[in-house]
Structure 1
Amino acid sequence: MSDTSGKNGKSGSNDTSGTLDEALERLHTTGPERNGRLTNHAPMAVEALVRHGQAPAVHRWLDHYAHKLEELPPANRPVTADDWREALGDPSRITDWTRFFARRLDGPDARPWREVLAEWWPRLLPGIAGGSTHPVIRTGHAVRTLLSGGDGEATAPRRAELAHALGYWAARHQPLPPLAPLAVAPSAAAALEAVPPVAQQDGGMPARLDQLTAFPQWGAAPDPDTAEEQLTELVTAATHRYATHGHGEPIMLVHAATAPNAVLRTLPALPRELWVPSLGAAWAAAAAVTAAYTPRDPLPYKKTDLTSEEVFERAAAHGDDHTIKFTDAALDVGDPLALAAAVRSIELNPSIF
């Protein structure tokens, strides 16, 4: 599974400069979206930049990204322990939800962040595809930061980031439509290959998700250890697939890998009894993105001789938020095809600089 201590000797726990906390505090005055539903990727991108030794570039990167940031939307009415179900999936309650989780993580009656996560994770999992899977991805980045270096890394800005991530997920919670089971696939790669594409390949992701009808059967894990192994297999398969299929929709198809990888990163913070349902939700997210955006035909990819560190340096210099996050996930996989897929994302997506 993902190494929460970080690849290549880099991790959030090595950020002695305080850059990550500074960046998160800067970002927590902004909302999780802009222009109605486009996602603010900055908290996820800066976490990946710092983790991979690019802390000196973070504030410059944020300066370039600043025009995509909007203020927090106005609060509506507080979410409470008694009425949270009626607020679930209501995007007009984003700030209400963020404040709800902030009180649970840092209020007078705050509980340890792992307890809050364990309580809400199974409630939020059925809506994993909501917000085009960005809320679960943001949650995965937040949890990885909190896990890095132990409880001493659970600073106030990092707990606040978890509150923002969970609040965004609760507000954009969107279950998938009922799905018929197709034939059992022998592997994650075969399962992704067998996912039927949606009929109408236009419009945004919500419209495409409404067209889903059936998924191949895969990932029937009998125990937590098997679930972890299969989730690792899924992340690897989705990352590899981007090398040959990312051209279908270079931005959106990164989420077929980054969404299940966010779940994989979160497993160490969760009770083991939640690992099997986590696999099922991760498969649903990866399959949904694949169905929504996969191209008709694959294209050949080029091998790369670059090291993991060199690939990430290129992604950081490129600056695109999705490219940074996908490269971060590809480094978790770490094999030559994953690195080639990361280089492909650098080629396909536009630079912000």
Structure 2
Amino acid sequence: MTDTDGRDTDGGTDTSGTLDEALQRLHTHGPERLGRLTNHAPMAVEALVHRGQARTVHRWLDRYRHKLEDMPAPHSPVTATTWREALGDTARITDWARFFERETQERPWRDVLAEWWPRLLPGIAGGSTHPVIRTGHAVRTLLTTEETAPRRAELAHALGYWAARSQPLPELTALAPAPSAAAALDAVPPVPRQDGGMRDRLPQLTAFPSWGATADPDTARTQLTELVTAATHRYATHGHGEPIMLVHAATAPNAVLRALPALPRELWPASLAAAWAASAAVTAAYTPREVRSHRATTLTAEEVFELAAAHGDDHTIKFADTALDIGDPKALAAALRATELNPPVFPSKAWPNGTV
């Protein structure tokens, strides 16, 4: 994809080795901390490099360092014959990472991804959708830049995290069909008790509007793009419901969209269905009661992402990265809204709303 000014943002401008340095620095650390909070650093640094902000990566990592924990101790190896019993077992995070490291060293990474994608899709909501988001960032890098050992290892760690955190959604009733992705998101029933974390809210899901069912791969890709656009736009008016968590309603389906070019076309319709379920689940879990207006922006895509990078919050960076994939004015306004709603990591910067 391109920014609104047509500039290619394929990440190929990073000739400094910054991304590989950052990934090597991060792969000694686990994907979580405190047993439940996600390590966002691999995703954020990929977005920063991809959007031309490589110079900010090590400073950002230095600030994030206190949130990193060592990789957990391994238990027993995951194998091609025992993987089912380890799926969804968070105690096996390191076992899963090592399994996928071996797989991606011995086989082409696309083959590994194609084999495991349908196995992992049912658990897309696990880890508050962070594992699939991390996978999307890793796939984008491998598709758009030179394949290196750290970038291949990043895909292994992302898939391992997804496998360890796999969590299928409860059985859901299909509600009346919605005519568009935006209408479908508007019609998602909120969970009855909006308290606790994502894992407390997912079991309360009972029904989603019918939307996006198709057997045609090209239609699936078109509708997935529509979903990412609708969820990004919706943040501008609904993000206040939970400013951090609601970014995932857009970034999770966008991770799936980023992976499509690396996947066999026959997997695209199922990918759309899973992405819709993930986006709807986040929407149901955190939908606010009221809609709020948002301010338009005249800033360019590059200026918006520079603000997000200077802001420093990991979710804000990743959401701005998704907004730039869309690139229209409302998506850019939604990205600015995230800089207003989420507390900045680097608070000395001035923001568009006039605060400092």
TM-score of Structure 1 vs Structure 2, range by shorter chain: over 0.9
The 2-side partners of 1:7 and 1:346 are apart by 24
Aligned in 2, Cα 1:7/1:267: closer, same or farther, shift over 3 Å? Answer: farther
CA deviation after TM superposition for structure 1 residue 7, in Å: 6.7
The 2-side partners of 1:90 and 1:23 are apart by 27
Equivalent residue for 1:230?
223
Q: Does 1:120 align with 2:98?
A: no
Question: Which of the residues 201, 212, 215 maps onto 2:208?
Answer: 215
What pairs up with 1:1-353 in 2 under 5 angstroms?
2=1, 8-106=7-105, 110-149=106-145, 153-353=146-346
SS in 2 for 1:72: coil
The 1-side partners of 2:7 and 2:288 are apart by 33
Give ranges in structure 2 of 5+ residues lacking alignment. 347-356
CA deviation after TM superposition for structure 1 residue 352, in Å: 1.1
State the Cα deviation string for residues 93-121 of structure 1 (Å, max 9, x = none): 00000000000111xxx000000000000
CA deviation after TM superposition for structure 1 residue 256, in Å: 0.1
SS in 2 for 1:210: helix
The 2-side partners of 1:204 and 1:189 are apart by 25
The 2-side partners of 1:206 and 1:222 are apart by 31
How many residue pairs were aligned?
345
C-alpha contact 2:2 2:9 (8 A) present in aligned 1? no
The 1-side partners of 2:340 and 2:121 are apart by 33
CA deviation after TM superposition for structure 1 residue 3, in Å: 5.8
C-alpha contact 2:195 2:201 (8 A) present in aligned 1? yes
Taking only the aligned residue pairs, the percentage that are identical comes to 77
SS in 1 for 2:208: strand
Aligned in 2, Cα 1:3/1:162: closer, same or farther, shift over 3 Å? Answer: farther
In structure 2, give the amino acid aligned to 1:122. Answer: P
CA deviation after TM superposition for structure 1 residue 222, in Å: 3.0
CA deviation after TM superposition for structure 1 residue 12, in Å: 2.3
Aligned in 2, Cα 1:165/1:26: closer, same or farther, shift over 3 Å? Answer: same
C-alpha contact 1:21 1:158 (8 A) present in aligned 2? yes
Q: If the length of structure 1 is used for normalisation, what is the TM-score?
A: 0.96
Give ranges in structure 1 of 5+ residues lacking alignment. none
State the Cα deviation string for residues 31-56 of structure 1 (Å, max 9, x = none): 00001110000000000000111101
C-alpha contact 1:11 1:50 (8 A) present in aligned 2? no
Q: If the length of structure 2 is used for normalisation, what is the TM-score?
A: 0.96
The 1-side partners of 2:255 and 2:2 are apart by 12
The 2-side partners of 1:350 and 1:341 are apart by 15
CA deviation after TM superposition for structure 1 residue 11, in Å: 2.8
The 1-side partners of 2:8 and 2:113 are apart by 27
CA deviation after TM superposition for structure 1 residue 9, in Å: 3.0
In structure 1, give the amino acid aligned to 2:54. Answer: A
In structure 1, give the amino acid aligned to 2:104. Answer: L
